């Protein structure tokens, strides 16, 4: 009886319950399960970036700031000064929000941020102009807000220059010159200014297209730190992960693939908003654009993974990621030329994936640069990806060997 019982073999395990062999797919399946169990991580992979994209799009939907409030101090009160005020108010960038009797009250409005600029028309402006003198009209703008101050100064200068030219033409004609001769006297050497790229000066193409990838870089690096730190900062966690993957490379690839897919989708959705909703033109190679977009996400994941493996606590890794990625926009060369930065700022920008990405994006999206001229920047980003990925691979192997690996079946159960 006992021999008969010992000959009985247990039934085979159904194929659906068998554990996958160690490798990429096993780690991938495990990571997807872990993402599903963590609502906060799910929010990081899509909803939070998309909410920020929608918020940024709503901020920059106008493309160019218009109707900026300015104050006028008209000390002349003449027909000429009223015409100047009308022309200023007709300028798209400006809106006359206050007409004040003196400069002191106008300055108070400017300090209180109720207006962004002041136009001062002096006394006897009309009389001096008719007498052949040159009355001086002063424009004060709040350059502490560089963008707004620049728009106010540019709009006021354009309106006043146009008005001055019109008055000069009338004076020349009153002295007997023909209309053509008067125009030539006012503008003896005509200068034609043509903006080669972004002629509308739209902030959608300049700022929004750069801010969205900047925000996404922070999300990608932080998410990679949290995901990898979950294994790297637990007892024998990295050894278990490498055992499940069969090698550090397959383990990290399987772990990071869901995040790469999610964030690449976010990046392409941001492009859809810019090119589809806002109608921004695309002038370069679509294949190259898709390639460096994918490489950008991979490089950011590599940076976050490396930071997670360099430190002993996830909080420290998140701090380092925030320290590196948060000021990235200032070092990327969009708002201030990189050639004018000091060596420290240039070095900081050079190690961030955002810098070559925006370089490539500007070349391909805005300027339509030939592919061959964009290859150095692409090589720059590829080098960053290899450096960060290589360091992460070495650190993952080192951590896996630091403690004895757990049994693979037990690891699958605890995953």
pLDDT digits (tens, 9 = 90+) for 41-99: 888 888 898 898 888 888 877 777 888 999 999 998 888 889 889 989 988 889 999 99
In a domain, 194, yes or no: no
- The domain tally of the chain equals 2
pLDDT at position 72 is: 94
In a domain, 79, yes or no: yes
Q: What is the CATH number of the domain that holds 94?
A: 3.40.1710
175 and 256, same domain (yes or no)? no
Last residue of some domain: 186, 217, 243? 186
309 and 345, same domain (yes or no)? yes
Structural domain for 36, as ranges: 24-59+201-414
Contacts for 415 with CB less than 8 Å, ≥ 6 apart: 30, 33, 34, 240, 244
283 and 322, same domain (yes or no)? yes
Last residue of some domain: 186, 220, 236? 186
pLDDT at position 22 is: 66
101 and 51, same domain (yes or no)? no
155 and 54, same domain (yes or no)? no
Last residue of some domain: 186, 217, 249? 186
In a domain, 196, yes or no: no
110 and 210, same domain (yes or no)? no
218 and 152, same domain (yes or no)? no
pLDDT at position 127 is: 87
360 and 292, same domain (yes or no)? yes
285 and 165, same domain (yes or no)? no
223 and 157, same domain (yes or no)? no
The CA distance from 213 to 296, in Å, is: 9
In the sheet that holds 94-100, the strands lie side by side as 94-100, 68-74, 117-121, 138-141
pLDDT at position 170 is: 75
pLDDT at position 210 is: 86
In a domain, 96, yes or no: yes
Burial (CB count within 10 angstroms: exposed 0-12, middle 13-18, buried 19+), residue 294: middle
In a domain, 262, yes or no: yes
151 and 262, same domain (yes or no)? no
State which residues of the chain have pLDDT below 50: 1-11, 13-17, 405-415
277 and 336, same domain (yes or no)? yes
In a domain, 16, yes or no: no
End-to-end CA distance of the chain: 42
User: pLDDT of 137-195, one tens digit each?
Assistant: 899 988 778 778 888 988 888 888 888 777 777 777 777 777 777 676 666 666 776 66
Contacts for 67 with CB less than 8 Å, ≥ 6 apart: 92, 93, 94, 95
In a domain, 8, yes or no: no
Burial (CB count within 10 angstroms: exposed 0-12, middle 13-18, buried 19+), residue 168: middle
Which two tokens mark 302? Answer: 């590599």
In a domain, 95, yes or no: yes
pLDDT at position 105 is: 92
């Amino acid at each position: 009886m006992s021999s008969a019982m010992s000959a009985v073999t247990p039934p085979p395990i159904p194929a659906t319950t068998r554990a996958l062999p160690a490798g990429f797919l096993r780690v991938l399946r495990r990571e997807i399960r872990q993402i599903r169990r963590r609502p906060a991580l799910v929010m990081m992979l899509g909803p939070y970036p998309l909410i920020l994209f929608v918020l940024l799009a709503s901020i920059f939907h106008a493309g160019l700031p218009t109707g900026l409030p300015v104050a006028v101090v008209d000390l002349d009160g003449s027909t000429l000064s009223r015409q100047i005020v009308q022309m200023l108010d007709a300028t798209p960038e400006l809106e006359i929000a206050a007409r004040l009797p003196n400069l002191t009250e106008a300055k108070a409005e400017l300090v209180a941020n109720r207006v962004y600029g002041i136009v001062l028309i002096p006394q006897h402006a009309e009389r001096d102009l008719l007498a052949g003198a040159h009355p001086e009209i002063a424009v004060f703008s709040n350059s502490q807000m560089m963008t707004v101050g620049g728009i106010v100064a540019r709009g006021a200068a354009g309106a006043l220059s146009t008005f001055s030219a019109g008055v000069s033409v009338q004076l020349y004609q009153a002295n007997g010159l023909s209309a053509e001769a008067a125009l030539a006297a006012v503008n003896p050497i005509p200068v034609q200014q043509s903006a080669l790229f972004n002629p509308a000066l739209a902030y959608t193409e300049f700022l929004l297209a750069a801010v969205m990838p900047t925000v996404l870089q922070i999300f990608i690096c932080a998410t990679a730190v949290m995901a990898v730190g979950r294994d790297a900062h637990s007892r024998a966690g990295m050894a278990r992960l490498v055992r499940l993957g069969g090698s550090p490379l397959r383990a990290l690839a399987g772990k990071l693939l869901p995040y790469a897919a999610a964030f690449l989708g976010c990046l392409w959705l941001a492009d859809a908003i810019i090119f589809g909703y806002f109608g921004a033109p695309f002038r370069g190679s679509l294949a190259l654009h898709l390639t460096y977009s994918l490489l950008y996400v991979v490089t950011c994941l590599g940076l976050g993974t490396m930071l997670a493996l360099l430190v002993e606590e996830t909080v420290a890794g998140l701090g380092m990621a925030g320290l590196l990625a948060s000021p990235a926009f200032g070092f990327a060369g969009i708002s201030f030329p990189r050639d004018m930065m000091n060596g420290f700022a240039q070095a900081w920008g050079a190690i961030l994936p955002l810098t070559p990405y925006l370089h490539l994006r500007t070349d391909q999206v805005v300027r339509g640069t030939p592919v061959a001229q964009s290859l150095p920047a692409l090589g720059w980003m590829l080098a960053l990806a290899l450096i960060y990925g290589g360091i992460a691979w070495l650190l993952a192997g080192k951590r896996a060997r630091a403690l004895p690996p757990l049994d693979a079946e037990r690891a699958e159960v605890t995953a």
